[in-house]
């Protein structure tokens, strides 16, 4: 038992202290933030604990009781390694809550520290946090953005309307409305993203040029993250991409989608003979050139393909308008041999081509299934012939 005025020696601080008062505190005393004003129990720290027993980590740290504390002056605490954990301000005169709140707000703004105000039986917390304010969105700026967006959309729409014939050509070539939409949408993406990027770089370059020409002050900086710039770019991108959807809608109205977009044979073999009518008509003079073209093809690049081998090719019979050849279908070990005849039958002023295939050897089912590749290759030669220039066709039509 100690009395006021006695001197005590405190181990750890290694000094003598004079007792000037003894407080009778029945329990914990809490600050305005809800935490105790007394320090955390040192048992939660390995360095400060005076016993070998440590508290489990799952326990929330709690403060020591008032009976375990010694209160010293703040100068002594700072000299012995203490630190300032909180500062309490008590007005000398009675103040209204609004005045206390104003003072606390100034402290919070200046120190960036949380501040608490206690009034009557309540406490209030004040903290500084950042907010974003959008400014400069006048009516004129909004109208200008709308006009620019509509102008870009009008330019793109005019460009796409001029491509109406292109849409028809794509549909003739077999493209579905979805594929046509992808083509124009890709074009719109390239134009919009490329245009926005180039415009952004030009704006940055003009900003530097105006600074060099001293039209703008040297301290004028380019606002890279301006919301108006970003919104303008997004509006232009959106306008171009939305307008790019128009060709898909137009194609859906113009094109009649077909479920069959691949070439398919319309006839089947009868026993060992397969008659195929090629939906291509030519003038007699042009048909002669095409037979010679086929003769040259099967002697050259068309002689050996992955699906077939040409064994021999006869000369083009101009009198009967016919070309014959013998073909071996792969796999060669199945020995599927057939005779093929291309014949131009005259109908009025034009010639209609027929292809007759006669099986010589090999399994009939295998012969039918393996013939598709050969027939498709022959069909493509008709398409290639149609794509040749008239001068090239004339070379084949003239007698060698």
pLDDT tens, N- to C-terminus, the chain (400 residues): 778 888 888 877 788 889 888 888 777 788 877 788 888 877 776 655 555 566 666 677 788 888 888 888 888 888 887 888 888 888 888 888 888 888 888 888 788 788 888 887 787 887 777 776 655 556 666 787 788 778 877 877 777 677 777 777 777 666 777 777 788 788 878 888 888 888 888 888 888 898 888 888 887 777 766 777 777 778 878 887 777 777 667 766 666 555 555 667 778 889 899 999 888 888 888 999 999 999 999 999 999 999 999 999 999 998 899 999 999 999 888 999 999 999 999 888 889 999 999 999 999 999 999 998 999 999 899 989 988 888 888 888 875 4
Q: What is the pLDDT of residue 248?
A: 65
| Residue 167 belongs to a domain | yes
pLDDT single digits (tens) 150-166: 887 787 777 767 777 77
> Does one domain contain both 289 and 385?
yes
Residue tagged 């301000």 (tokens): 89
Cross-strand bridge partners of residue 116: 125
| Residue 233 belongs to a domain | yes
Q: Nearest-CA neighbor of 304 among 325, 324, 327, 337?
A: 327
**How many angstroms separate the first and last alpha carbons of the chain?**
136
> Does one domain contain both 185 and 221?
yes
In this prediction the pTM is 0.41
Range of the domain at 217: 139-254
Q: Nearest-CA neighbor of 287 among 356, 325, 344?
A: 344
> Does one domain contain both 195 and 147?
yes
How many domains is the chain built from? 2
Which tokens is 191 given? 């134009």
Output the DSSP codes for 264-307: ------BTTEEEEEEEEEEEHHHHHHHHHHHHHHHHTTTSEETT
> Does one domain contain both 208 and 303?
no
Distance CA 6, CA 209 (A): 82
| Residue 348 belongs to a domain | yes
> Does one domain contain both 291 and 366?
yes
Distance CA 273, CA 174 (A): 31
| Residue 116 belongs to a domain | no
- Name the 3-class secondary structure at 49: coil
> Does one domain contain both 246 and 325?
no
> Does one domain contain both 146 and 245?
yes
| Residue 278 belongs to a domain | yes
> Does one domain contain both 171 and 247?
yes
> Does one domain contain both 180 and 250?
yes
Q: What is the pLDDT of residue 400?
A: 47
| Residue 384 belongs to a domain | yes
Q: Which residues, including other chains, have CB under 8 Å from residue 372's CB and lie 6 or more apart?
A: 265
User: Is the Cα torsion angle 305, 306, 311, 317 positive or negative in sign?
Assistant: negative
| Residue 369 belongs to a domain | yes
Distance CA 384, CA 377 (A): 11
E strand spans, the chain: 7-10, 15-18, 115-119, 122-126, 273-283, 304-305, 308-313, 322-329, 336-347, 350-361
> Does one domain contain both 297 and 389?
yes
58: left (phi over 0), alpha (psi -120 to 50) or beta: alpha
> Does one domain contain both 348 and 247?
no
> Does one domain contain both 201 and 314?
no
Residue 43 Cα distances to 14, 28, 51, 59, 60, angstroms: 21, 18, 8, 11, 12
| Residue 69 belongs to a domain | no
Single residue among 254, 282, 313 that ends a domain in this structure: 254
Q: What is the CATH number of the domain that holds 353?
A: 3.30.530
């Amino acid at each position: 038992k100690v009395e006021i005025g006695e001197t005590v020696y405190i181990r750890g601080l290694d000094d003598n202290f004079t007792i000037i008062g003894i407080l009778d505190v029945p329990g914990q005393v809490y600050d305005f933030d809800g935490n105790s004003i007394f320090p955390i129990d040192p048992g939660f720290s390995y360095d400060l604990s005076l016993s070998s027993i440590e508290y489990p980590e799952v326990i929330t740290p709690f403060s020591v009781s008032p009976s375990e504390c010694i209160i010293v002056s703040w100068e002594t605490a700072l000299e012995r390694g203490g630190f300032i954990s909180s500062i309490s301000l008590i007005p000398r005169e009675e103040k209204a809550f609004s005045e206390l709140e104003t003072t606390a707000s100034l402290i919070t703004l200046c120190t960036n520290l949380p501040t608490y105000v206690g009034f009557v039986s309540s406490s209030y917390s004040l903290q500084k946090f950042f907010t974003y304010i959008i400014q400069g969105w006048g009516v004129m700026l909004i109208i200008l953005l709308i006009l620019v967006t509509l102008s870009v959309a009008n330019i793109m729409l005019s460009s796409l309307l001029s491509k109406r014939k292109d849409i028809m050509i794509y549909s003739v070539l077999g493209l579905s409305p979805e594929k046509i939409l992808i083509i124009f949408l890709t074009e719109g993406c390239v134009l919009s993203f490329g245009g926005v990027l180039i415009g952004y770089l030009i704006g940055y370059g003009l900003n530097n040029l105006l600074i060099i020409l001293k039209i703008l002050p040297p301290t004028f900086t380019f606002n890279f993250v301006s919301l108006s710039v970003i919104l303008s770019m997004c509006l232009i991108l959106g306008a171009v991409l939305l307008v790019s959807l128009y060709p898909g809608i137009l194609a859906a109205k113009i094109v009649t989608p077909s479920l069959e977009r691949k070439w398919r044979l319309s006839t089947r073999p009868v026993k060992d003979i397969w008659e195929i009518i090629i939906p291509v008509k030519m003038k007699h003079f042009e048909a002669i050139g095409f037979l010679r073209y086929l003769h040259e093809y099967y002697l050259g690049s068309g002689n050996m393909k992955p699906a077939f081998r040409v064994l021999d090719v006869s000369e083009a019979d101009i009198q009967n308008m016919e070309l014959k050849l013998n073909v071996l279908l792969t796999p060669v070990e199945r020995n599927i041999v057939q005779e093929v005849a291309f014949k131009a039958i005259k109908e009025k002023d034009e010639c209609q081509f027929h292809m007759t295939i006669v099986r010589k050897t090999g399994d009939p089912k295998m012969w039918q299934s393996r013939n598709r590749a050969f027939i498709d290759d022959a069909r493509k030669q008709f398409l290639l012939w149609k794509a040749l220039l008239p001068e090239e066709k004339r070379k084949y039509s003239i007698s060698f």
